[in-house]
Amino acid sequence: MELKAENISFYYGSWNIIDSLSFALPAGGFMSITGPNGSGKSTLMKLIMGFLTPAEGCFFCGGESLSGKRVEQIAGRIAYVPQEYVPAFGYTVFETVLMGRTSSFDRFGFESPEDRDVAMHMLEITETNHLVNRPLDKISGGERQRVFIARALARKTPVLLLDEPTSFLDMRHQVGIFDILKRLQVEEDKTIAVIMHDINLAIQYADYSLMFDGWGGIKIDSPENLFTEENIRNSYQVETIKASRDGIPIFIPAGRLSRSSRLKE
């Protein structure tokens, strides 16, 4: 299902954080959203989900305008994993993931065996099934993040938005989550947008990339064209060393006191 933005603008007070942004993420596309802290990435997702209202412009999902729709209506098409969750104390891991199926519960609010099967399957593919009976507030931050991803996947919506889904995860689970997302894109034609700070993962997994520069500028292109030493410097105010493996570019931050800079002296 296509996700589209037309001339979106948004202000925090007098600060124009997003100015006339337009993009079209085709059905089955995978888009990375990058940029420095505070540049507007999370704001963009909150605008899409209806938590915030654009000053100008409109979002479309599957060709239908999202303007004026309630958050619950938007959530029927778009599953969203925010950057931070307040743990739901008293719920187990399984109950938390099962909440992703509430839209399919019967009129008395009870889940079906299929709902329970879907929840267990999502726990399995996110490697959190061993936590099934653990209280949500008694697991690590990284484990909790994977549980919330499992809950979003359990919704089985055509569009997924994830705000830094791997920020608390170790390297193996970071790659594991992106492998899951890529498989959902390829096998189930999911439309996926992910806020991320790891440019190298964006290059490996995304088909499209949107980059905030922290100064109100936004660039959109393929990862191969967008991620250059110049664009990274302008956006993050940091120098990088460009390498490659099997033709895929890799960018290494080069701080003034990094080992690479010392070796050059």
The 3-state secondary structure of 159-175, one letter per residue: EEEEECCCCCCCHHHHH
Provide the 10 A C-beta neighbour count for residue 111: 17
Per the document, the length of the chain is 265
Residues in contact with 13: Cβ distance below 8 Å, sequence separation at least 6, in sequence order = none
Q: Is residue 133 part of a domain?
A: yes
Q: What is the pLDDT of residue 106?
A: 66
Q: What is the pLDDT of residue 87?
A: 61
- Look at the chain and report how many structural domains it folds into: 2
Are residues 151 and 27 both part of a single domain? no
Q: What is the pLDDT of residue 85?
A: 67
> Of 101, 121, 155, which residue constitutes the final position of a domain?
155
Please choose, from the candidates 118, 191, 205, 187, the residue with its C-alpha nearest in 3D space to the C-alpha of residue 161.
191
Residue 96 structure tokens:
């938390």
Are residues 19 and 63 both part of a single domain? yes
Residues in contact with 241: Cβ distance below 8 Å, sequence separation at least 6, in sequence order = 251, 252, 254, 260
Q: What is the pLDDT of residue 258?
A: 54
State which residues form the domain around 135.
Answer: 92-155
3-state DSSP helix/strand/coil % of the chain, to nearest 5: 40, 25, 35
Q: CA–CA separation, 125 vs 122, rounded Å?
A: 5
Are residues 151 and 163 both part of a single domain? no
Q: What is the pLDDT of residue 182?
A: 94
Q: What is the pLDDT of residue 97?
A: 94
Are residues 107 and 161 both part of a single domain? no
Q: Is residue 259 part of a domain?
A: no
DSSP state of 135: B
Q: Report the relative pairing of strands 208-212 and 159-163 from DSSP bridges.
A: unpaired
> Of 155, 173, 198, which residue constitutes the final position of a domain?
155
Are residues 73 and 114 both part of a single domain? no
CA torsion, ordered 83, 89, 92, 93, to nearest 10 deg = 10
Q: Is residue 165 part of a domain?
A: yes
Are residues 145 and 173 both part of a single domain? no
Q: What is the pLDDT of residue 262?
A: 47
Block means of pLDDT (10 residues each) for the chain, 265 residues, are 96 89 96 94 96 97 95 93 73 92 74 90 93 92 89 94 90 91 93 96 96 84 93 92 89 70 46
**Residue 71 belongs to domain with CATH number:** 3.40.50.300
Q: What is the pLDDT of residue 102?
A: 81
Are residues 60 and 120 both part of a single domain? no
